């Protein structure tokens, strides 16, 4: 087990308490590292027997001034959306990145662990692990294992403590969390709660924001096309959520446009902040946003500020240029426009002009998150929308992000349409595309059902007996399937192509055919990969779990440092960013939801990005996450070829097709059965 991971476990227990699943590691640190409350114990601790546990002596390092990072108490929530917290996180990340050697980083972490808010500490340490060259092979611990209280029903914890205190590791049984634990179907939005509250989806979102922080030292923020990836990842989340809604007879999400109107969607998260023994505040139906006056968070802004930023950004989009901080005008063109706009709108620390365009998306999260107590009169912390770990649970997340997407769409609508020439791949035709479900009798039928998985949350349980304690959750799953694609190459030589596979619903909420204009925005990416095309006909076979969108289930449900490391660069590298495999497909319906499977093979010589191959670049989920420490591995605009308005004369998906594309009609059929937990590596 990795020492850094041990430092991130059970963060309310002081460092000198034994670590590891069975108390096998004991950290001995300089007395001055300890919390002042525990320093009188120093002598006792130095002489104490470690009961056979391995002792790790951490050398004393000179830790620079922690500055603002110590201002957040142990018992508060931490959120990057709040500028005061961003400054704390930035300072801490700077300190960790600045430690010359790995051992110094480890020791500085131990020092900070005793003084810093646990969520802030875990965030900064995880960012540093991802960005230090010497910790490339260190797994970033699974946040659901460290902080189960941000993912699981609060009522689990007393039950699990009882289990762990009374029964030994061999006798414990998983605590079963039912599928419906936050609401009932009286609330229509609850029909898609399994998506909003999915552990894997929430982990993917948390991890994405860990890999692409919008604030922090420049090396952490300033990454290739990060603004565009912010656009694309969230665009895909909305498309996937809409697909899920159509699978449950709900209309597509309504954008949250008028911020003075009440929000009809309520949300009662039932999460406990066990570190602080506080619940996450709910939001009643018809709550209204108000001006935020949270002096406690050094945070004061008005709804009018949001509206002003929105209008300025819209002006920029429609005039196709932005004004940089320096006063210089920069075009929002087809190459860099979306990236510049993404950084402005989010906003990130590399926004071209934060004074003018503000911090719209982040402050929208904050305004919604404080709607229950905007001036701190009740001393309530922010709600789930205030933390990227929990934000996706709330129905309003999707309404807010649909608004954000609509600004990006306005920009995309100003760009030239793709011409037939830009879409084609000369000499290459896709003859046929289909999917085959394992055990299925008909082609082009995808199948989903429910499945249980166990997750060990013992590392998130402070002051509890050691050894694994499992909770059993129920989530969506699909039956394994394979893509079969037939491609003919008559170009007169070997060619290389990029296969791009998308899926979109065929019918809208009224069960009428979707126009291509609308359907275009509902395509979810299923896979993208490179192929070699020999002259003649190639038969391409691609499995569901090879998808460039997803990560394998063990990365969602396991803390990966528990398993023996695989060969470097192998499939089981330690990267948690990516969509969970079990949520690759929408649920579909019992009668079978009709959908369009779209397959395109583009010319790899135009897609290719020149860069040295690098082991452990976290390549599994690259469609939504890019490659760690490298450029985004596809030169085309993200979402290509569905990202722009279609050329004139194209009214249907069929009209859109060029010979290197094919469409198959598929159905996604859901069976209401639940399978037991599957063994994982
Ligand atoms: Cu991911 Cu709003 O950006 O939560």
- Per-residue DSSP letters for 326-383? TS-EEE--TTTHHHHHHHHHHT-TT-S-HHHHTTHHHHHHHHHHTTT-TT-TT-----
3-class secondary structure, 213: coil
Q: How many Å lie between the centroid of ligand 1 and the Cα of residue 499?
A: 29
The pair of three-digit structure tokens given for residue 233, joined into one six-digit string: 């990842």
Question: Is the pLDDT confidence value at 244 over 90?
Answer: yes
Residue 560's pLDDT band, with cuts at 50, 70 and 90, is low
- In DSSP terms, 603 is beta-bridged to 497
pLDDT grade for 421, boundaries at 50, 70 and 90: very high
Residue 318 near residue 290, CB atoms below 8 Å:
no
Integer Cα distance of 115 and 65 in angstroms = 12
DSSP 505-526: ESB-TTSSBPPHHHHGGGPEEE
Residue listed under structure tokens 């082009």: 444
Q: What is the mean pLDDT of the chain?
A: 92
Q: In whole angstroms, what separates CA 590 from the centre of its chain?
A: 29
pLDDT digits (tens, 9 = 90+) for 320-367: 999 999 999 999 999 999 999 999 999 999 999 999 999 999 999 999
Label residues 75-88 b or e (16+ Cβ within 10 Å = b): ebbbbbbbbebbbb
d(CA 663, CA 523): 12
Half-sphere exposure of 205 (CA within 13 A, CB side): 23
Residue 37 binned pLDDT confidence (cut-offs 50, 70, 90): confident
Q: How far is the CA of 398 from the centre of ligand 1 (A)?
A: 10
For 570-593, how does the pLDDT look when each residue is reduced to its tens digit (9 = 90+)? Answer: 334 457 789 999 999 999 999 999
Q: Which atom of ligand 1 has the smallest separation from the CA of 404? A: 2
Residue of 207, 235, 253, 391 to mutate, ligand 1, most atoms within 8 A of C-beta: 391
State both tokens at 307: 């509206």
Q: 3-class secondary structure for 172-193? A: CCCEECCCCCCCCCCCHHHHHH
Q: What pLDDT score does 201 carry?
A: 97
Structure tokens at 526: 């299923």
Task: Give the residue among 473, 470, 475, 462 at the shortest CA–CA distance from 585.
Answer: 475
Confidence of residue 275 (pLDDT cuts 50, 70, 90): low
Helix/strand/coil for 463: coil
Q: How far is CA 135 from the centre of its chain?
A: 21
**Residue 254 is encoded by which pair of tokens?**
């309504």
Quote the pLDDT of residue 311: 98
* Centroid of ligand 1 to alpha carbon of 54 (angstroms): 42
The whole-angstrom separation of Cα 240 and Cα 248 is 13
Residue 279 backbone zone (phi > 0: left; psi -120 to 50: alpha; other: beta): beta
Task: Determine the average pLDDT of the residues in 528-533.
Answer: 98
Distance 38 CA to ligand 1 centre (A): 39
Question: Cα-atom radius of gyration of the chain, to the nearest Å?
Answer: 25
Q: How far is the CA of 228 from the centre of ligand 1 (A)?
A: 13
Which atom of ligand 1 is found nearest the CA of 209? Answer: 1
Residue nearest to atom 4 of ligand 1 (CA): 388
The dihedral through the CA atoms of 485, 491, 492, 497 has a sign that is negative
Selected catalytic residue, list 235, 346, 445, 525: 346
The ligand 1 atom at the shortest distance from the C-alpha of residue 346 is 3
Instruction: Report yes or no: 632 and 604 within 8 Å, Cβ to Cβ.
Output: no
Ligand 1 center to 356 CA (angstroms): 21
Please state, in angstroms and rounded to a whole number, the distance separating the CA atoms of residues 230 and 213: 10
Q: How confident is the model at residue 559 (pLDDT cuts 50, 70, 90)?
A: confident
346 is catalytic: yes
Ligand 1 centre to CA of 388 (Å) is 6
Atom of ligand 1 nearest to the CA of 361: 2
Report the Cα 412 to chain-centroid distance in Å: 24
Contact 448, 476 (CB under 8 A): yes
Q: Which of 280-289, 469-478, 565-574 has the lowest mean pLDDT?
A: 565-574
- Strands, DSSP E only, in 534-581? 536-543, 550-551, 579-580
- Ligand 1 atom with the smallest distance to the CA of 205 is 1
Locate 180 and state its tokens. 């419906």
Percent of the chain with pLDDT over 90: 77
DSSP 274: T
Choose one of 210, 234, 394, 399 to mutate for the ligand 1 pocket test, by most ligand atoms within 8 angstroms of C-beta: 234
| 388 CA: nearest ligand 1 atom | 4
Note the helical H segments in 461-515.
Answer: none
> Which domains does the chain carry?
3-135 (1.20.1370.10), 188-265+281-413 (1.10.1280.10), 420-458+472-675 (2.60.40.1520)
The pLDDT of residue 5: 87
Confidence (pTM)? 0.96
Tell me the C-alpha distance between 405 and 252, whole Å.
14
Taking alpha carbons only, the member of 582, 558, 571, 376 closest to residue 476 is 582
First to last CA, the chain: 16
Residue 563 has pLDDT above 70, yes or no: no
Q: How far apart are CA 492 and CA 45, in angstroms?
A: 76
Q: Which residue has the tokens 């997803």?
A: 550
Q: CA torsion, points 401, 407, 409, 413, in degrees to nearest 10?
A: 180
User: In angstroms, rounded to a whole number, what is the distance separating the alpha carbons of residues 128 and 125?
Assistant: 5
Beta-carbon contacts of residue 3 (< 8 Å; ≥ 6 apart)? 25, 56, 106
Q: Which of 252, 247, 249 is nearest to 592 (CA)?
A: 247
Residue recorded with tokens 């998306």: 361
Atom of ligand 1 nearest to the CA of 400: 2
Å from CA of 81 to ligand 1 middle: 9
How many angstroms is it from 200 CA to the middle of ligand 1? 16
How many helices (H) and strands (E) the chain has is answered by: 22, 20
The binding-site residues of ligand 1, defined as CB within 6 angstroms of any ligand atom, are: 205, 209, 234, 361, 365, 388, 391, 401
Torsion of CA 41, 44, 50, 51, to 10 degrees: -120
ipTM, interface predicted TM-score of the complex: 0.99
How far does the centroid of ligand 1 lie from the alpha carbon of residue 366, in Å?
A: 11
DSSP 8-state assignment for residue 678: P
Q: Are 568 and 137 in contact (CB under 8 A)?
A: yes
d(CA 345, CA 428): 39
Q: What is the DSSP letter of 38?
A: G
* Residue 50 clears pLDDT 90, i.e. is over it: no
Handedness of CA 257, 238, 361, 332 (dihedral sign): negative
| Least-confidence region, from 86-100, 391-405, 461-475 | 461-475
């Amino acid at each position: 087990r990795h020492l850094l991971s041990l430092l991130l476990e059970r963060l309310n227990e002081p460092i000198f308490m034994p670590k590891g699943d069975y108390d096998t590691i004991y950290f001995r640190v300089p007395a001055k590292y300890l919390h002042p409350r525990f320093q009188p114990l120093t002598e006792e601790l130095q002489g104490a027997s470690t009961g056979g546990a391995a002792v790790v002596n951490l050398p004393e390092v000179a830790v620079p001034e922690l500055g603002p990072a110590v201002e957040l108490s142990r018992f508060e929530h931490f959120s990057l959306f709040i500028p005061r917290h961003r400054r704390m996180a930035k300072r801490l990340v700077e300190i960790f990145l600045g430690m010359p050697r790995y051992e110094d980083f480890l020791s500085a972490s131990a020092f900070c662990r005793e003084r810093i808010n646990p969520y802030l500490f875990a965030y900064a340490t995880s960012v540093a692990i991802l960005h230090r060259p010497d910790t490339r092979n260190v797994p970033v611990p699974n946040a659901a294992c460290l902080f189960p209280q941000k993912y699981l029903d609060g009522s689990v914890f007393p039950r699990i403590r009882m289990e762990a205190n009374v029964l030994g590791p061999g006798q414990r049984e998983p605590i079963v969390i039912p599928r419906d634990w936050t609401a009932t179907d009286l609330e229509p939005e609850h029909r898609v709660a399994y998506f909003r509250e999915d552990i894997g989806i929430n982990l993917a979102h948390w991890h994405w924001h860990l890999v692409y922080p919008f604030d922090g030292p420049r090396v952490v923020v300033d990454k290739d096309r990060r603004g565009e990836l912010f656009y694309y990842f969230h665009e895909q989340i909305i498309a996937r959520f809409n697909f899920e809604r159509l699978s449950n007879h709900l209309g597509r999400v309504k954008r949250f446009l008028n911020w003075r109107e009440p929000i009809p969607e309520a949300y009662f998260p039932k999460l406990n902040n066990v570190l602080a023994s506080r619940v996450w505040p709910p939001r009643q139906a018809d709550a209204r946003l108000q001006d935020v006056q949270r002096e406690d968070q050094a945070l004061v802004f008005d709804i009018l500020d949001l509206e002003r930023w929105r209008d300025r950004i819209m002006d920029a989009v429609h005039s196709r240029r932005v004004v940089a901080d320096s006063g210089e005008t920069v075009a929002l063109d087809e190459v860099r426009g979306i990236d510049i706009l993404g950084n402005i709108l989010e906003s990130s620390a590399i926004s071209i002009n934060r004074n003018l365009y503000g911090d719209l998306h982040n402050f929208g999260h904050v305004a919604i998150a404080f709607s229950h107590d905007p001036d701190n009169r009740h001393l309530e912390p922010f709600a789930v929308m205030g933390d990227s770990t929990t934000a996706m649970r709330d129905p309003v997340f999707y309404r807010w992000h649909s608004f954000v997407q609509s600004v990006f769409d306005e920009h995309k609508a100003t760009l030239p349409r793709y011409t037939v020439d830009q879409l084609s791949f000369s000499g290459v035709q896709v003859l046929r595309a289909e999917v085959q479900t394992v055990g299925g009798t008909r082609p082009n039928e995808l199948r989903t059902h429910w499945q249980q998985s166990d997750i060990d949350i013992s590392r998130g349980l402070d002051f509890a007996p050691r050894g694994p304690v499992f909770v059993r959750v129920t989530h969506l799953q699909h039956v394994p399937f394979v893509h079969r694609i037939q491609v003919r190459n008559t170009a007169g030589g070997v060619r290389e192509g990029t296969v791009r596979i998308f899926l979109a619903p065929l019918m809208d909420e009224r069960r009428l055919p979707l126009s291509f204009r609308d359907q275009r925005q509902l395509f979810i990416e299923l896979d993208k990969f490179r192929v070699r095309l020999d002259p003649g006909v190639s038969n391409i076979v691609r499995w569901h779990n090879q998808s460039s969108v997803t990560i394998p289930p063990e990365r969602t449900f396991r803390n990966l440092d528990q398993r023996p490391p695989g060969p470097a660069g192998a499939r089981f590298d330690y990267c948690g960013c990516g969509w969970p495999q079990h949520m690759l497909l929408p649920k579909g319906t019992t009668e079978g939801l009709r959908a369009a499977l779209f397959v395109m093979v583009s010319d790899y010589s135009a897609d290719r990005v020149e860069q040295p191959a690098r082991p452990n670049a976290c390549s599994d989920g690259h469609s939504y996450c890019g490659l760690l420490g490298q450029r985004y591995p596809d030169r085309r605009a993200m979402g290509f070829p569905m990202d722009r308005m279609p050329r004139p004369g194209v009214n249907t998906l069929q009209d859109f097709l060029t010979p290197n594309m094919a469409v198959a009609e598929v159905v996604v059929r859901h069976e209401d059965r639940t399978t037991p937990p599957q063994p994982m590596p």
